[in-house]
Structure 1
Amino acid sequence: ILMTTKGKSSHVLVFSEDLFFIYLLPPIIFNAGFQVKKKQFFRNFMTITLFGAVGTMMSFFTISLAAIAIFSRMNIGTLDVSDFLAIGAIFSATDSVCTLQVLNQDETPFLYSLVFGEGVVNDATSVVLFNALQNFDPNQIDAIVILKFLGNFCYLFVSSTFLGVFTGLLSAYVIKKLYIGRHSTDREVALVMLMAYLSYMLAELLDLSGILTVFFCGIVMSHYTWHNVTESSRVTTKHAFATLSFIAETFLFLYVGMDALDIEKWKFASDSPGKSIGISSILLGLVLVGRAAFVFPLSFLSNLTKKTELEKISWRQQVSNLLH
C-alpha cells in the first residue's frame, strides 16, 4: 500500500520485524500463558513436548528433502543444500498467534493446549535448528554434531523456561514484600506488565527463546503474582492483558495483510508472476506434507499411552492439528 506525498511514494503499514518481535508478539504470548488452563496444559505436557520437539524435527527433514527433490529440478537460482535445509527449518515452525485466533480455549481445551503448546515448544526447537544451520557443513555430520545440537536444544529449553519461572516468582516476591499495607492498583498493574516484558527482553538479549520465557512467566504470574495483588488489581490486570493482546493481534494481521499487498515485492520476486505463485503453492503443499508426516504417527503413539478415550487424540482433532 503506497501513499503519494509531494510526488514521492512512501509505504504505509509495511511489516517490520522489530515491530513484530518487540511490541506485538510479547503481549499476545504472555496473555495466552496468563489465561491458559494450567491443569489441562501440564496434563498433556509430554504430548506437547513430543509434538513440539520430535514433530518439528520430522517436519524439518520431510520439507527439506522434498524441497531438494523438487526445487533442484527447477530454475529458481543457485541454491545449495544449506539453503534447502534453511527452508525446512523456517517452514517447520508453527504459528502460535493464529492458533489463539482460530481455536477457543473454552470450547476445545484439549486441542487448544495441544496446538498452542506445540507452537511454544516448537519455537525453541526452530531457534536451535536454524542457528545450527548457520555454520552447517554437509560433509561434517557425525555423532558429535548431533549431540551438540541436542545439548543446545536442552540448554535453550531449560534456560528459557527457568528465566520465565524466575521472573514470575520474582514479581510475586516483590509485590508481596514491598507493598505490604500500601497496595496501589496502578503500581501493581504497572509492575506486573514491566516484569513480564522484562522476561521477554532478557531472553532475547541472552539469545534464548523469548516466546518460551514470556509464556511460562505468564503461567507463573497467574498462579502466584495474581493472588498477591488487591482485588481491583486482579480485575484490572486480567482485562488489561486481554485488551493489549487483542490490540496486538489486530495490528499484527493488519500489518501482515498490508505487507502481502505490496505490489512492488511481487513485481521483483520473480520474472514471472506465475512462477512465484507456483513456488508458493509448492511450499504450501510441503508444509502440509511435513505436518502430516508427524501429526498422525505421533498421535498414534500418544494414544497408545492413554487409558481412556477422552484422553486420546481423535481423528478430527488430528486433522485440526494438521491444518493449524
Structure 2
Amino acid sequence: MMGLGLGDPPADYGSIMAVGLFVALMCICIIVGHLLEENRWMNESTTALLLGLGAGTVILFASSGKNSRLMVFSEDLFFIYLLPPIIFNAGFQVKKKQFFRNFMTITLFAVVGTLISFSIISLGAMGLISRLNIGSLELGDYLALGAIFSATDSVCTLQVLNQDETPFLYSLVFGEGVVNDATSVVLFNAIQNFDLGNFSSLKFLQFIGNFLYLFGASTFLGVAVSSVLVPPLALLTCQVLPSH
C-alpha cells in the first residue's frame, strides 16, 4: 500500500477494464439488436459479431498490440458458467410438445449424424495431412479434429427462424444443435481421456464404453438437475403469471 503512488492504477486494472468493456458491449449489443429486430438483413447475432470485430480491431490498433488479450477469458468460464444458462433459457422457451414429438428424429440427426461427420472428417484429415506433408500427427489428434469440426453452431440459424411460424423446423434445428454440441463435447473428452497409442480392438471397445459412460452420466445428471429445478420454477411462473 505504501509503495503505490496516488496516480498508480490498481493491480487488477486490466481485469476491471475487461469486465467493464464486456458489460458495455453486451448492453450495446442488446440495445442495437432490439432496434434492428424487424430488420431483414441484420439480427442480434450479426450485431454481436460486428461489435466484437470492431472492438477487437480498435483495441489492437489503439494499444499497438499491447492489450490485444484484454478481452480473452478462460474457455472454462464460458462452458461452465455462461453456456448452461443460455441453453437452459432456450430450452425453457422452446415448444415442448414439438420437441419431444420429434425427439427420435432429433436424436438421429444429432447423435448418428455427428458420429458420421466425425468419422468422415477424421478420415479426411488423415488423408489430406498425409498428402500435403504438413507433419505427422497421432491418431488422437485426427480424432480430436473430427470431434471439433463435427460440432455445428445453430445459433445464427435460429436467429432467422420464427418459432411460431415454423415450429417443426425450429424444434429440429434447436434440438439437433443442443444434442450435437453435447455429443461432440463428450466425444472430444473421451478422446482426450483415453490412451490411443497402441490401438487394438479391445481399446476400441473401451473407447466406445468410455463415450457411452460420459454421454449417459451427463444425460442422467442433466435430467436429475432439471427434475429438481422444474417444480419450483413452474410454481414461481404460475404465481407471477397466473393467467398463463
- For Structure 1 versus Structure 2, the TM-score category normalised by the shorter chain is 0.5 to 0.7
Aligned pair in 2 of structure 1 residues 70, 81: CA closer, same or farther (>3 Å)?
same
| Match among 131, 154, 168 for residue 212 of structure 2 | 154
Q: CA deviation at 1:3?
A: 5.8
1:172-211 equivalences under 5 Å are none
Gaps of 5+ in 2: 1-55
CA distance in structure 2 between the aligned counterparts of 1:65 and 1:168, rounded to whole angstroms:
38
- Select 1:123's aligned residue among 181, 186, 207: 181
8 Å Cα contact 2:130/2:136 also seen in 1:
no
**What amino acid is aligned across from residue 167 of structure 1 in structure 2?**
V
Q: Distance in 1 between matches of 2:125 and 2:234?
A: 50
Matched AA of 2:236: V
Q: 1:65 aligns with which of 123, 142, 152?
A: 123
Q: Within 5 A, what are the aligned runs for 1:171-320?
A: 171=229, 221=230, 224-229=231-236, 231=238, 233-234=240-241
Conserved? CA contact 1:3–1:9, under 8 Å: no
**Aligned counterpart for 2:227 among listed residues 162, 166, 169:** 169
Matched, 1:141 2:200: yes
Residues 168, 225 of structure 1: 8 Å contact kept: no
Question: In 1, distance between residues paired with 2:141 and 2:130?
Answer: 11
Cα RMSD after superposing both structures:
2.9
- Tell whether 2:156 aligns with 1:98: yes
Q: CA deviation at 1:130?
A: 1.7
Structure 2 Cα separation of the partners of residues 113 and 149 of structure 1: 31
| Aligned-partner Cα distance in 2 for 1:65–1:230 | 49
Do the aligned residues in 1 keep the contact of 2:163 with 2:170 (CA within 8 Å)?
yes
Q: TM-score, normalised by structure 2?
A: 0.63
Q: 2:104 aligns with which of 12, 29, 46?
A: 46
Give the AA of the match of 2:128: I
SS of 2:210's equivalent?
helix
Give the C-alpha shift of residue 43 in structure 1: 0.9
SS of 2:67's equivalent in the other structure is strand
Deviation at 1:27, TM superposition (A): 2.3
Give the 3 Å change call, closer, same or farther, for CA 8–103 of structure 1 in structure 2. Answer: closer
- Could you report, residue by residue, the CA deviation over 1:146-185 in whole angstroms, capped at 9, with x for unpaired residues? 44344334333333233233223323xxxxxxxxxxxxxx
1:9 corresponds to: 66
What number of residue pairs does the alignment pair up? 183
Change (3 A) 1:74 1:36: same
The amino acid that maps onto 2:199 is Q
The 3 A distance-change label for structure 1 pair 44 and 68 is same
Whether contact under 8 Å (1:53, 1:125) holds in the other structure is yes
Equivalent-residue separation in structure 2 for 1:107 and 1:149 (angstroms): 42
- Whose radius of gyration is greater, 1 or 2? 2
Contact 1:169 1:225 in 2 (8 A): no
Alpha-carbon deviation of 1:59? 0.4
- Flag the structure with higher helix content: 1
Match of 1:108 in 2: 166
Indicate conservation of the 8 Å contact 1:3/1:10, yes or no.
no
Three-state SS of the structure 1 residue aligned to 2:66 is strand
Structure 1 gap segments, 5+ residues each: 172-220, 236-324
The letter for the 1-side match of 2:67 is S
**What's the secondary structure of 1:73's corresponding residue?**
helix
Shift of 1:85: 1.9
Match of 1:24 in 2: 82
What is the percent sequence identity of the aligned residues?
Answer: 65
How much has 1:58 moved relative to structure 2? 0.6
Following TM superposition, the consecutive aligned residue runs of length 4 or more in structure 1 with deviations greater than 4 angstroms are: none
- Residues of 2 paired with 1:88 and 1:19: CA distance? 24
Give the whole-Å Cα distance in 1 for the aligned partners of 2:82 and 2:187: 24
Quick one: structure 1 residues 96 and 146, their matched pair in 2 at CA, closer, same or farther if it must change by over 3 Å?
Answer: farther
Q: CA deviation at 1:30?
A: 0.7
Normalised to the residue count of structure 1, the TM-score between the two structures is 0.49
